Amino acid sequence: MAAEDSFRDYVAARLAGLSRAAYLLTGDRHLAEDLVQQALVQVASRWERISAGGDPDPYVRRVLYHQHVSWWRRRRLVDRPHADPPDVVVADRVPDKDTELTVRQALRRLTPRQRAVLVLRYFEDLTEVQTAEVLGCSVGTVKSNTRDALARLRATAPELEYLRGAR
């Protein structure tokens, strides 16, 4: 029972953050929920080993991102109707609202890997080395994916001119 309790504590503490990352990865609330659930089931199946290793975050993050790429590979996302940008009532945040919509649409045109790189680097604030560890690839691959992702964003949304300086 101690393992189950510690798992519940961990989920309660990290659920909001995981859900937000999943939303950025999928661009859809329902898919984000599914992704979080599936990732946490995987985590629960190995919880004793994960928690014994200290900080569970790196492993949980790895599961989340790999699950997302795995979905894409299995074409699950293609088969499912892709939701439009969430139709939620939010406070008017102009003047950034137009830019936000543009970013959201531009993100959708990235591959899951490119998207994951951006989310890990600019949302989770991980270094290139940490990002490479989560995605199980080399630092060079992280760099090239970042470069390609930003280039695609600039190409699909020229109005995001300020991205030019981002590296």
Partner 1 sequence: MNGRMLQEIADEMPPARLPDDLWRAGRRLRQRRRFGYAVAAVVVLVLALAVPTVAGHRRAAVEPADRPGAVPSRVEQPHLWQAAVGQWPAGAGGPAALVFFTARTRYFESTGVTVGRNGSYRLIYQDIGEENGLLTPDGRYYVRPGLRMLDLTTGAQRRLADVADRSRPLAFSPDGSELLVGIVNDDEGIVYGDDAIPDSDPEKPDDLIAVDMRTGAQRYVAVGRMNSYTTAAWSPDGTRIAVEGPVGRGDVGRRLSVMDARTGEPISTTDNFAPDRRLAGRAAWTPDGGLIALLAFEGCTERCDLAAENARRWRLELADPTSGSIVTLPVPIDGAPGEVVGWRDGRDAVLTYAPDRDDPRRWTLAALRPNGEIDTLVDTPPGVSDLEVPDGLLRSGAFGGPPAEPSIWAAPAWAYAIALAPVLLVLAIVRRRRQRARV
Q: Report the candidate in 104, 113, 112 with the shortest Cα–Cα distance to residue 160.
A: 104
- Long-range contacts for 63-66 (Cβ within 8 Å, ≥24 apart)? 63/39, 64/18, 64/21, 64/22, 64/25, 64/35, 64/36, 64/39, 65/25, 65/116, 65/120, 65/134, 65/135, 66/135, 66/136
Side chain identity, residue 27: G
d(CA 118, CA 136): 15
* Count of CA atoms in the C-beta half-sphere (13 A) of 94: 1
Q: Which stretch binds partner 1 (CB under 8 A): 19-27, 58-66, 71-79, 128-136?
A: 19-27
Question: Of 23 and 71, which CB lies nearer to partner 1 in the complex structure?
Answer: 23
Compute the distance between CA of residue 10 and CA of residue 167 in angstroms, rounded to an integer: 34
Going residue by residue from 54 to 93, which x/- string records binding to partner 1, judged by CB under 8 A?
--------------------------------x-x-x--x
Residue from 67, 113, 121, 132 touching partner 1 (CB under 8 A): that is: 121
The stretch near partner 1 (CB under 8 A) out of 60-68, 76-84, 114-122, 135-143 is: 114-122
Which of residues 36 and 142 has its CB atom nearest to partner 1 in the complex? 36
53 binds partner 1 (CB under 8 A): no
- 36 forms part of the interface with partner 1 (CB under 8 A): yes
Nearer to partner 1, 75 or 93 (CB): 93
The helix/strand/coil state of 74 is coil
> Which of 10, 47, 71, 72 touches partner 1 (CB under 8 A)?
47
Would you state the structure tokens that stand for residue 47, as one six-digit string?
Answer: 């919880």
Binding site for partner 1 (CB under 8 A): 4, 7-8, 11, 15-16, 18-24, 29, 32-33, 36-37, 40-47, 86, 88, 90, 93, 96, 99-100, 103-104, 118-119, 121-123, 125, 150, 153, 162-163, 166
